Chains A and B, each alone.
Chain A
Amino acid sequence: MVEKFDAIVIGAGPSGNAATYTLAKQGLKVLQLERGEYPGAKNVQGGIMYAHELEKIIPDFRDDCPTERHIIEQRVWLLGDDNYVGTNYRSEAFNSDKPNRYTIIRANIDKWWGEQIRKVGGLQICETTVTELIRDASGKVIGVRTDREGGEIHADVVIMADGVNALLAKRAGLQDEAAPENVALAVKEILFIDPELIQQRFGIKEDEGVVIEIMGKVTKGMVGTAFLYTNKESLTIGIGCLISDFKNGDCPPYRMLEDLKKHPVIKPLIEGAEMKEYAAHMIPEGGYKAIPQLYGDGWMVVGDAAHFNNAAHREGSNLAMASGRMAAETVIELKSAGKGFSAPNLAAYKKKLDDSFIMKDLKKYRELPGIMHGNKQFFGAYPDEITAAAHNWFTVDSVDKKSKEKQIMKSFIKRRSVMGLVGDAIKLVRAVR
């Protein structure tokens, strides 16, 4: 006999975990399927975790959630060939009882989630790849097929939290393949190092953390960013660019990462650290316009699989957790109202998303991906010009300041023309307004 659940959740990342936990906590019979050896085995995150969305689901998560450092300082650096221009924001206020952001090691968090899910009665099964959705004659999704023997399982509703590849939705014809300009490829390494050195080099105390977001020369003119995060006993360093740009270039991602590690500004920060893992992952970057169909008869899609990522603010896992929670709440509400999981009923999930920061933020930045993709000067010419201008300005060489201003202006105009500069300013405003 085929086993039947109230809900099946596919994937044990932030969105699937949030959905499974929320459903199990309300007493629903829920099965979560994960293809990895253990929860987290297939997951990659920078990673910064935002507390607020997790707090909504598990209010006292700080009691035992294995976070790394809470972030007290955010740096944003524009890198030139051997220099950088940057801004920092640091505040003692981030040293509160309930910090807002933490650095994390993904696998530790996902294992912790697994324990939380078991505590509330959810069933999480690993080492099981879902191969396809099962649909009835009307096309309604009624379950999943797995690669285990007799691996057919039924449920009233299936929540796809299978990540950026979203293979199941694509196979079922519910989603198209992502365009190369709508996904980035990021590679990263974890570098272990004496915590004392982390604290000295970044000017922080135990448990305090610094995150550095990086743009400029290191992406070799491609649309992309890099990062350096402080964990407890390790640093995470990574870089990512749009796949369309990798495709048109000829620089493999690992070489780009290696060049980042050798950059004169970065090298002293990671010196002496030991690399323990190299990871790669795609990131949905297409924003609002790339969001696929989010629900249908018997199914919903959440997290990266739904293309929920706010590239401008580097928020992904919180959108994942929020969308997972909203999908679960939709199921709970429909079930308690005695309603089925038809597409018209599941439209309530879309309504929740529309009313939340997820769709509001993605809508606000809807023009950003297209503008960045089509205007590479923001990742090439400008970082060059800005870092060169800073070098000129801060070099004291008896050239009067008015002449320096003229030199700098002239250099910008030579690179972009007056109309080009005006046009770029308008584009930037359009991209973020």
Chain B
Amino acid sequence: MTMMVKVEEKLYQNRYIVDESRPHIQIKSVEACQTCEKQACTFCCPAACYSKNETGGVTLVTDGCLECGTCRVVCQDKGNIAWDYPRGGYGISYKFG
């Protein structure tokens, strides 16, 4: 099955305390993404925070981030992701976990 799955509908059920304009994860170099063949972050991230953009690079929006760490692990050979936890109390707040 290759039906489109709307991850947004899943994330919509979650509770987030968003730290406005303070993303806890950042792409270090735009160019490094443009020369990255796989751009594995765009299909490994369980919240689809990473998407391919028209410049051939990757756009990151951390609002739906589940703080799992997968992007940091897949990008470790390039080391192009600065990964941190959100400030205390912010970010995903699981009701059930």
Contact = CB atoms under 8 A, between A and B. Distances in A.
Interface of A: 35-38, 40-45, 47, 105-108, 110, 126-129, 146-148, 164-165, 167, 177-178, 180, 183, 185, 187, 189-190, 234, 243, 246-247, 249-255, 258-259, 262, 275-282
Classify the interface of chain B: helix, strand, loop or mixed.
loop
A337 B97 CA distance: 40
18 contacts: A44-B94, A44-B97, A148-B88, A165-B72, A185-B44, A185-B68, A247-B38, A252-B7, A252-B48, A254-B48, A259-B1, A276-B96, A277-B13, A277-B95, A278-B11, A279-B96, A280-B66, A280-B70
Contact of B94 (A40, A126, A185, A243): A40
A129 B19 CA distance: 14
Contact of A278 (B13, B70, B86, B91): B13
Contacts, number: 144
A183 B96 contact: no
Given A44-B94, A164-B69, A180-B73, A276 B89 contact: no
Interface in B38-97: 38, 40, 43-48, 66-70, 72-74, 76, 83-89, 91-97
A246 B43 CA distance: 8
B15 to A, nearest CB: 8
Given A180-B76, A280-B70, 12 more contacts: A35-B89, A42-B97, A43-B94, A105-B97, A107-B94, A107-B95, A126-B89, A146-B88, A177-B76, A252-B45, A253-B44, A276-B96
A164 B73 CA distance: 11
A129 B88 contact: yes
A343 to B, nearest CB: 27
Contacts of B17: 37
B30 to A, nearest CB: 21
A252 B96 CA distance: 23
A328 B95 CA distance: 29
Nearest to B70: A185
Given A252-B48, A254-B46, A42 B5 contact: no
B29 interface: no
Given A185-B44, A279-B97, A165 B14 contact: no
A282 B69 contact: yes
Contact of B73 (A178, A259, A278): A178
Contacts of A247: 38, 40, 44, 74
A129 B66 CA distance: 16
Contacts of B10: 189, 254, 275, 278
A277 B14 CA distance: 5
